[in-house]
Structure 1
Amino acid sequence: MATSSAGVFNASKLAIIFALLCSLYVFRDIWLPSTPTTPVHPTATPPQSSAPPLESELILNQTAPSEHVADCLNAPGADRVMIVLKTGASEIYEKLPTHLITLFRCTKHYLIFSDLPQTYSDYQIHDALATVSNQYKDEHDDFEVYRKLQKYHREGQNVAKLKGDKGWNLDKWKFLPMMHETYRLASPDVDWFVYIEADTSMSWTNLLQFLGRMDPKKPLYLGAQNVIGHTTFAHGGSGFIMSRAAAEKIENRRNKIGVKKYDDRWELSTSLSCCGDEVVARALVEVDVELTPSWPRLQGETVDTLDWTEKHWCTPAITWHHVSPSQVDSMWRFQNKWVKENGWSKPYLYRDVYDGLVARHVSVNRTSWNNLSKDKEFVAPTKDSSEDDKKAWEKLSDVEKDSVKSFDDCAEACLAWNKCLQWMHEDGVCKLGKDVRLGETDERHSDTWSSGWLQHRIQGMRDNLADCKTNWDH
Structure 2
Amino acid sequence: MDVPVAANILGTLGAVCWSIQLIPQIIVNYRRHNATGLQPSMMMLWAWAGVPLGVYNIVKEFNVALRIQPQILTLLSLVTWIQCYYYERVQKLIPLALNEANECQKWSVYRSLLVVLPIAVVMGGIQAGLIIALRIAKSLSLEWPLILMASLSAALLAAGVLTHYWDIWKHRTVRGISFLFVAIDAAGDVFSLVSVFFQTELDVLGIVIYATEFVLWCGVFACGGYYNLLPWVRKRFGGESKRAEVEESVGDRVMMNENVSSSSVFRTCHVRAPAAMPSSWSSSSRRLMLNKRFSRMAIAGLCTVIFLILVFWGAIHGSYGVSQYYSFSTTSSFRPVSVDPEGKTIQDLCATFPKHLLQTIQPVLKMGHADTKERLDAQFDSVSACFGKDELLVFSDLDESIHDHQAIDVLADLPAIYYHDNPDFVNYMWQKEMRANGTLDVDTEATARIQGWRMDNYVFWDNAFRFLQTFDPDAPLYMGSPSPGTHDVKQDIKTWFANGGPGFVLSRGAMRALLVRKTTPYGQYVEPPATEKWLPMLRDDCCGDSVTGWALWNVSVPLRGYWPLFNPHPLHSIPFSDKYWCQPVMTLHKSSPKDMVDVWRWEFAQRQLGRPLLYSDVWKFHHPGDREVAENWDNGKWDFTVAPPEARIDSFEACGKYCKDSSDCLQYNWRGRDEKKCVTSKSFRVGEPRQPEKIIEPEVKDDKGNVIPPPPDRQDRWVDFKSGWLTERIAQWRSNRNCTEVQWVGPSTKRIF
TM-score (norm: length of structure 2)? 0.45
Match of 2:561 in 1: 293
The answer as to 2:662 corresponding to 1:417 is yes
Structure 1 residues 405-464: Cα deviation after superposition (integer angstroms, max 9, x where no partner): x22222111111111111122233322222112211013645321111001211222122
Show the 5 A alignment for 1:130-279.
130-137=412-419, 139-159=421-441, 161-162=445-446, 167=451, 198-230=455-487, 231-253=495-517, 257=525, 260-279=528-547
Match of 2:641 in 1: 376
Give, as a single letter, the amino acid of the residue that structure 1 aligns with 2:401.
Answer: T
Give the secondary structure class of the aligned counterpart of 2:497: strand
CA distance in 2, matches of 1:254, 1:338: 49
Show the 5 A alignment for 1:289-368.
289-339=557-607, 342-343=608-609, 345-359=610-624, 362-368=626-632
Match of 2:321 in 1: none
Question: Could you list the runs of 5+ residues in structure 2 that have no partner in the other structure?
Answer: 1-338, 488-494, 695-718, 747-753
CA distance in 2, matches of 1:162, 1:358: 42
Structure 1 residues 194-249: Cα deviation after superposition (integer angstroms, max 9, x where no partner): xxx62001111111011011111211110000112322000111100011111112
Q: Is the 8 A contact 1:69 1:336 kept in 2?
A: no
Give, as a single letter, the amino acid of the residue that structure 1 aligns with 2:459.
Answer: M
Q: Is the 8 A contact 2:570 2:591 kept in 1?
A: yes
Structure 1 residues 18-57: Cα deviation after superposition (integer angstroms, max 9, x where no partner): xxxxxxxxxxxxxxxxxxxxxxxxx98567xxxxxxxxxx
CA distance in 2, matches of 1:86, 1:254: 29
Match of 2:735 in 1: 463
Q: CA deviation at 1:111?
A: 0.7
**Closer/same/farther in 2, CA of residues 161 and 300 from structure 1, 3 Å limit:** farther
Q: CA deviation at 1:316?
A: 0.7
Match of 2:383 in 1: 103
Q: CA deviation at 1:157?
A: 2.3
Q: Is the 8 A contact 2:340 2:604 kept in 1?
A: no
**Closer/same/farther in 2, CA of residues 349 and 467 from structure 1, 3 Å limit:** closer
CA distance in 2, matches of 1:363, 1:163: 42
**Closer/same/farther in 2, CA of residues 250 and 228 from structure 1, 3 Å limit:** closer
Greater length-normalized contact order (CA 8 Å, ≥ 6 residues apart): 1
Give, as a single letter, the amino acid of the residue that structure 1 aligns with 2:615.
Answer: Y
**Closer/same/farther in 2, CA of residues 74 and 89 from structure 1, 3 Å limit:** closer
Match of 2:368 in 1: 88
Structure 1 residues 157-177: Cα deviation after superposition (integer angstroms, max 9, x where no partner): 244645678736xx5xxxxxx
Q: Is the 8 A contact 1:73 1:105 kept in 2?
A: no
**Closer/same/farther in 2, CA of residues 335 and 266 from structure 1, 3 Å limit:** same
CA distance in 2, matches of 1:92, 1:431: 34
Match of 2:652 in 1: 407
CA distance in 2, matches of 1:69, 1:296: 27
Match of 1:441 in 2: 689
CA distance in 2, matches of 1:250, 1:200: 24
**Closer/same/farther in 2, CA of residues 73 and 261 from structure 1, 3 Å limit:** closer
CA distance in 2, matches of 1:117, 1:444: 42
- Percent identity, please: 27
Q: Is the 8 A contact 1:84 1:110 kept in 2?
A: yes
Give, as a single letter, the amino acid of the residue that structure 1 aligns with 2:460.
Answer: S
**Closer/same/farther in 2, CA of residues 151 and 273 from structure 1, 3 Å limit:** same
Give, as a single letter, the amino acid of the residue that structure 1 aligns with 2:619.
Answer: Y
Q: Is the 8 A contact 1:200 1:319 kept in 2?
A: yes
Structure 1 residues 258-314: Cα deviation after superposition (integer angstroms, max 9, x where no partner): 685543221122112221111111221222111111111012111222210001201
Give, as a single letter, the amino acid of the residue that structure 1 aligns with 2:457.
Answer: T
**Closer/same/farther in 2, CA of residues 445 and 472 from structure 1, 3 Å limit:** same
Give, as a single letter, the amino acid of the residue that structure 2 aligns with 1:120.
Answer: I
Give, as a single letter, the amino acid of the residue that structure 1 aligns with 2:745.
Answer: D
Give the secondary structure class of the aligned counterpart of 1:278: helix
Match of 2:182 in 1: none
The answer as to 2:745 corresponding to 1:473 is yes
Q: CA deviation at 1:121?
A: 4.7
**Closer/same/farther in 2, CA of residues 88 and 455 from structure 1, 3 Å limit:** same
Name the count of aligned residue pairs.
Answer: 365
Structure 1 residues 122-163: Cα deviation after superposition (integer angstroms, max 9, x where no partner): 321101212322233365211110011101212232446456
**Closer/same/farther in 2, CA of residues 223 and 333 from structure 1, 3 Å limit:** same
CA distance in 1, matches of 2:612, 2:541: 37
Question: Could you list the runs of 5+ residues in structure 1 that have no partner in the other structure?
Answer: 1-42, 48-61, 172-196, 379-391
Structure 1 residues 376-412: Cα deviation after superposition (integer angstroms, max 9, x where no partner): 324xxxxxxxxxxxxx74xx2xxx32x31x2222211
Task: Choose which of 123, 148, 170 in structure 1 pairs with 2:405.
Answer: 123
Q: Is the 8 A contact 2:341 2:602 kept in 1?
A: no
Q: Which has the larger share of strand?
A: 1
CA distance in 1, matches of 2:686, 2:428: 38
Give, as a single letter, the amino acid of the residue that structure 1 aligns with 2:592.
Answer: S
CA distance in 1, matches of 2:628, 2:378: 31
Give, as a single letter, the amino acid of the residue that structure 1 aligns with 2:407.
Answer: I
Give the secondary structure class of the aligned counterpart of 2:571: coil
Compare CA radii of gyration and give the structure with the larger one: 2
**Closer/same/farther in 2, CA of residues 99 and 261 from structure 1, 3 Å limit:** closer
Q: Is the 8 A contact 2:365 2:395 kept in 1?
A: yes
Give, as a single letter, the amino acid of the residue that structure 2 aligns with 1:280.
Answer: T
**RMSD of aligned alpha carbons:** 2.7
CA distance in 1, matches of 2:573, 2:589: 10
CA distance in 2, matches of 1:101, 1:376: 38
Q: Is the 8 A contact 1:90 1:162 kept in 2?
A: no
Moved over 6 A (4+): 163-166
Give the secondary structure class of the aligned counterpart of 2:512: helix
Q: CA deviation at 1:251?
A: 2.0
**Closer/same/farther in 2, CA of residues 214 and 167 from structure 1, 3 Å limit:** same
**Closer/same/farther in 2, CA of residues 121 and 72 from structure 1, 3 Å limit:** closer
